[in-house]
Structure 1
Amino acid sequence: MHDLTRYALAAAARGWHVFPLTPYDKRPLPGFTAWEQHATTDTALIRHMWARAPFNIGIACGPSGLVVLDLDVPKPDEHPPPDWSRPGINDGADVLASLCEQAGQPLPLETFTVRTRRGGTHLYFTTPADTDLRNTAGRLGWKIDTRAHGGYVVGPGSVVDLSDGTGSYDVLHDATPIPLPHWLVRRLTQPAPGPTSTSAGALLATSVGDHATGYAIAALRGEIDRVLDAEPGTRNNTLNTAAFALGQLTAGGLVPRDLAEACLRTAAHAVGLSPREAFSTIRSGLDAGQRHPRRAAA
């Protein structure tokens, strides 16, 4: 076992509030329910507590002014959901890289970084001023959780031995945490997409006006309904299917491509898909559909 007192003191020296976790576990000590209130930077108290047993280290994110991105790795039987089932997406780190690419932002790796016991990554950031961030699970994407006010992370030096994996938490990049990038703050604070009451008719009225034939209207309505009715986790794949179907009609001269794109973008926005993700899906779906033209039945 590492000298966990040394690690706890090192965290406290950074201004991070620590508390004891059960040895070889991720949970607070039994009965230690008010961990956020009792987490401390008091060196004398830390020495006293960790002299009692080789406790693992919990870092209370809220009092410490931290937001931690937890980039997890899947268990052997886990696979990406439909929205993230694409080449190159294998874990939370890949999802973050994809989000950065979509947003035109660099990977925020020049910050305090810890490798977790199963090979994932904790990226430590400072909390933005005047923003009350809370814990999230999957809000940013598959296998990305965040820990902020009301949450904690297992600190460096800790060793966890549980049925789903054994390993240590090790510092990979001993840097001063940087502020959480503004674009990630926006993603974490914007309202979560909820069930939509938008109808295909309303979207068509906005996007189409009187510039389409009756057949085009019927086709567009059907594909918009398909997207609006999609369940969470299937929406990106459904958008791709709808784009493919409309691409077939654009190739057959039945629906103008710009009209199909406008309707699909509006529907994607209505169900909460990000503009960049929707743009890529719509473009590839339309392109694929145009290679297989479909014409109205005689």
Structure 2
Amino acid sequence: MNGHWIAASKALGRYVPAAGPYPHICAATVAGEDTLSGRPVQPAQWEKARYCAACAHAEHTRNHPSTPDLRERIPMRHNDLLTAALSAAERGWHVFPLRPDGKRPAIEKWEQRATTDPDRIRRCWTAGPYNIGIACGPSGLVVLDFDTRKTGQTAPARCEGYLHGWGVFTDLCAHLGQPVPDTYAVATGRGGLHLYYRHPDDGIELRNTAGALGWLIDTRAHGGYVVAAGSTVAGRPYTLRQDTAPAGLPGWLAERLQPTPQRPAGPPVVIELPADRRGAYVRAAIDATLTKLAEAGEGGRNRALFMAAQTLGQLVAGGVVAEDTVTRALADTAMRLGLGEREICTTIRSGLRAGARRPRQVA
């Protein structure tokens, strides 16, 4: 088997082939793991097996006092992450751990648990080579996220010549007669750019947006996070481009990012289906999907809407239910969650397109 365990290799400071078992820092094998393949026996054990080198050392040390202190084994890269996390916290930014060399949170309820406490940060980043997430809401930040155009990605009609969200943004500034705001900036691993601004203190809570400022431009605010400088994703570093205090978000930008006023939610959408076994099956599938969406928590609502649209998009592509019916049902549920109308429309379209790639039919 080719490849290696990335997190373990970083934590141990040596190459750990994927063909072998996943080790603890002390080189013991993880319980519940197949010693031949190095894979967890059950899917539910995946997280424990994949990240034990980072998160299980403290417990193992209590049970095996002879284990060498982890601090003696932390490679230089590991210390760099701790330093970067402490540096972000000194700025007043609330940080939390992301998976090693990745973007996904390593903990649940990351927004509530993000911290500026140096002792908590040291304990966390001494335990493993975690990437650094910055929770934008608690940190009082609004981050503009400029992406690069992917190979084969189709541009909107008016954006055909753009290869980067930064170009879209500078042209927007020029069109409105506004200067390009200068502020703290981080270059992402794949050529993107993050600009950090202070959240307005006018009492209006800005949230994440996708495309509100233009193509290839997203924003992160309350309910969102960004990968901090000093982290790496798939081996590519996030680097500091401009080290200065974040500027206040300009008023014209804040105005464009304000949440769309919510329309009063009407009565629930009634989905007409045949009163037979097939109709009952489809109704149960739709009801289960909408119920799961309705239970989405703060910070996960947009992703839950996308996943629901993707699931029902498979039924639409299979000719089981009409797209208009599914769209209205999803939008109704999403509005009751408090998502903005523009965000709802964009996310549903994306989810339906993704679901259409795998049509699902019901006999």
Relative to the length of structure 2, the TM-score reads 0.49
Q: What displacement does 1:76 show?
A: 1.6
Aligned partners of 1:24, 1:96: CA distance in 2, in Å? 29
Q: Find 1:6's aligned residue among 64, 80, 83.
A: 83
Corresponding letter in the other structure for 1:60: A
Q: What displacement does 1:83 show?
A: 3.0
Cross-structure match for 1:76: 151
Equivalent runs, 1:21-60 vs 2, <5 Å: 21-29=98-106, 32-60=107-135
Q: Cα deviation per residue 1:25-77 (whole Å; 9 max; x = unaligned)?
A: 00011xx2200000000001101100011100000000000000001101122
Q: Cα deviation per residue 1:170-195 (whole Å; 9 max; x = unaligned)?
A: 00000000011111111112748x9x
Cross-structure match for 2:231: 158
Aligned partners of 2:123, 2:259: CA distance in 1, in Å? 43
Cross-structure match for 2:174: 101
Cross-structure match for 1:173: 242
Task: Pick closer, same or farther for the CA change 1:74–1:50 going to 2, 3 Å.
Answer: same
Cross-structure match for 1:145: 218
Q: Find 1:189's aligned residue among 245, 258, 276.
A: 258
Q: Cα deviation per residue 1:242-271 (whole Å; 9 max; x = unaligned)?
A: xxxxxxxxxxxxxxxxxxxxxxxxxxxxxx
Mapped pair 1:114 → 2:186: yes
**SS of 1:51 mapped into structure 2:** helix
Q: Is the 8 A contact 1:80 1:90 kept in 2?
A: no
Q: Which runs of 5+ in 2 are unaligned?
A: 1-76, 264-341, 343-363
Corresponding letter in the other structure for 2:139: S
Q: Is the 8 A contact 1:58 1:153 kept in 2?
A: yes
Q: Is the 8 A contact 2:207 2:259 kept in 1?
A: no
Q: Is the 8 A contact 1:134 1:147 kept in 2?
A: yes
Give the length in aligned residue pairs.
185
Aligned partners of 1:190, 1:40: CA distance in 2, in Å? 27
Aligned partners of 2:149, 2:104: CA distance in 1, in Å? 21
Mapped pair 1:125 → 2:197: yes
Q: What displacement does 1:7 show?
A: 0.1
Cross-structure match for 1:276: none
Aligned partners of 2:128, 2:259: CA distance in 1, in Å? 43
Q: Which runs of 5+ in 1 are unaligned?
A: 195-271, 273-298
Aligned partners of 2:127, 2:238: CA distance in 1, in Å? 21
**SS of 2:196 mapped into structure 1:** strand
Relative to the length of structure 1, the TM-score reads 0.60
Cross-structure match for 1:226: none
Q: Cα deviation per residue 1:192-243 (whole Å; 9 max; x = unaligned)?
A: 8x9xxxxxxxxxxxxxxxxxxxxxxxxxxxxxxxxxxxxxxxxxxxxxxxxx
Aligned partners of 1:112, 1:118: CA distance in 2, in Å? 19
Aligned partners of 1:105, 1:131: CA distance in 2, in Å? 22
Aligned partners of 1:136, 1:45: CA distance in 2, in Å? 31
Q: Is the 8 A contact 2:89 2:116 kept in 1?
A: yes
Aligned partners of 2:193, 2:204: CA distance in 1, in Å? 24
Q: What displacement does 1:141 show?
A: 0.6
- Bigger Rg, structure 1 or 2: 1
Aligned partners of 1:159, 1:190: CA distance in 2, in Å? 32
Corresponding letter in the other structure for 1:53: G
* Structure 1 consecutive aligned stretches of length 4 or more whose deviation exceeds 4 Å: none
Aligned partners of 2:259, 2:112: CA distance in 1, in Å? 28
Aligned partners of 1:69, 1:42: CA distance in 2, in Å? 26
Q: Which has the higher contact order (CA 8 A, sep 6+)?
A: 1
How well do the aligned residues superpose, as a CA RMSD in angstroms?
Answer: 1.7
Aligned partners of 1:94, 1:173: CA distance in 2, in Å? 18
Corresponding letter in the other structure for 1:189: Q
Corresponding letter in the other structure for 2:98: L
Cross-structure match for 2:26: none
